[in-house]
Amino acid sequence: MELRTLRYFLAVAREENMTGAANVLYVTQPTLSRQIADLERELGVVLFERTNRACVLTADGMRLRQRAEEILALVEQTERELADREGGVAGSVRIGAGEARAMRVVLSAFSQLRGVHPDVTIDLYTGNADAVEERLERGLLDFALLLEPVNLDKYESVRMPAVDRVGVCVAADGPWGSLGAVSPHDLERMPLLVSSRTSNKAVDVAAWSNRAISTERLNVVGRFDLIGNASYLVRTGVACAMGIEHLVQVDDDPRMRFVPLDPPLTIASFLVWKKNRLRSRACEEFLRCLGDMVASAGDQ
């Protein structure tokens, strides 16, 4: 399987039309059709359902599309990293993160890096901890910003100076909007949206409440990755979302309030990267800028 063939396949997948993809690739339609047919014979699967007007991915085609995009992204990143060694500091820093206040420090470090090395770019991926960590493991990210609990034995890491308070996002005019803090008894009665994170339990409710309540006793009405879409249900009062403080959607919307847990609970965050992995010069310089900022924050 050649990289050129994968690029042809992805073009057809994007255009959903053999003629349109051929025009994008500057090849003839018969040539492209033959390349796709050869790829299907090589793999022993049908990649497209063909009609007179469209080429639609089959289930096997969708699986190949995901892998092909990852393979080509890794090839392009490798080429950029090798080119870095020949020239100045350039290329991309790929960072994945969820919603955490520490991201401001990470982006400030990148801004500082860009001030010195204007040819460096950034690729940001936003998702929950499971999705971000999976992309880091696959080599599709250079760094991941993760909220604890984090298995730091797997990674090199920098502990970020900011911590986030845990609480519940509620409708400001709803039955919970007047609370000053959320007790274990309050939490047990709330209709809750909770994190879909599965790799590690985001909040150990039993430990936080000194065994007064358990996760099984919560009234969980749904799960969410990021607060953006879930915020609609919060605003309407249908549910309350367990999360962290200073989320943009909550801070900027007077219809919602963040109410901290009582007893108080905070979560630290870590920027992590894979051990024993060659980093580009851009990534090395980014880490240097971030280290300086973290050290400066610690001195204050």
Class of domain 3-82 (CATH, top level): mainly alpha
Amino acid at site 140: L
Task: State pLDDT tens for residues 4-32.
Answer: 999 999 999 999 989 888 998 999 999 99
pTM, two decimal places? 0.71
According to CATH, the topology of domain 163-266 is: D-Maltodextrin-Binding Protein; domain 2 (3.40.190)
129 vs 195: CA distance, rounded Å:
10
Q: What is the DSSP letter of 27?
A: S
- CATH match of 86-162+269-299 with 3.40.190.10: yes
Q: How far apart are the first and last CA of the chain?
A: 55
Each residue's pLDDT tens digit in the chain (300 positions)?
788 999 999 999 999 989 888 998 999 999 999 999 999 999 999 999 988 788 999 999 999 998 898 888 878 777 766 665 555 678 889 999 987 788 889 999 999 999 999 989 999 998 888 889 989 988 889 999 998 888 889 899 999 998 889 999 999 999 999 999 999 999 999 999 988 765 556 688 999 999 999 888 899 999 888 777 788 899 988 999 998 887 756 777 899 999 999 999 999 999 999 988 778 888 999 999 999 999 887 655
Candidates 270, 263, 228; CA nearest to 249 is: 228
Residue 273 to residue 270: CA distance in whole angstroms: 10
Report d(CA 31, CA 40) in Å as an integer.
Answer: 14
Segments of the chain assigned to CATH 3.40.190.10: 86-162+269-299
Range list for CATH 3.40.190.290 in the chain: 163-266
Q: Which residues belong to CATH 1.10.10.10 in the chain?
A: 3-82
The upper half-sphere exposure of residue 47, i.e. CA atoms within 13 Å in the direction of its Cβ, equals 27
CB atoms closer than 10 angstroms to residue 97: 23
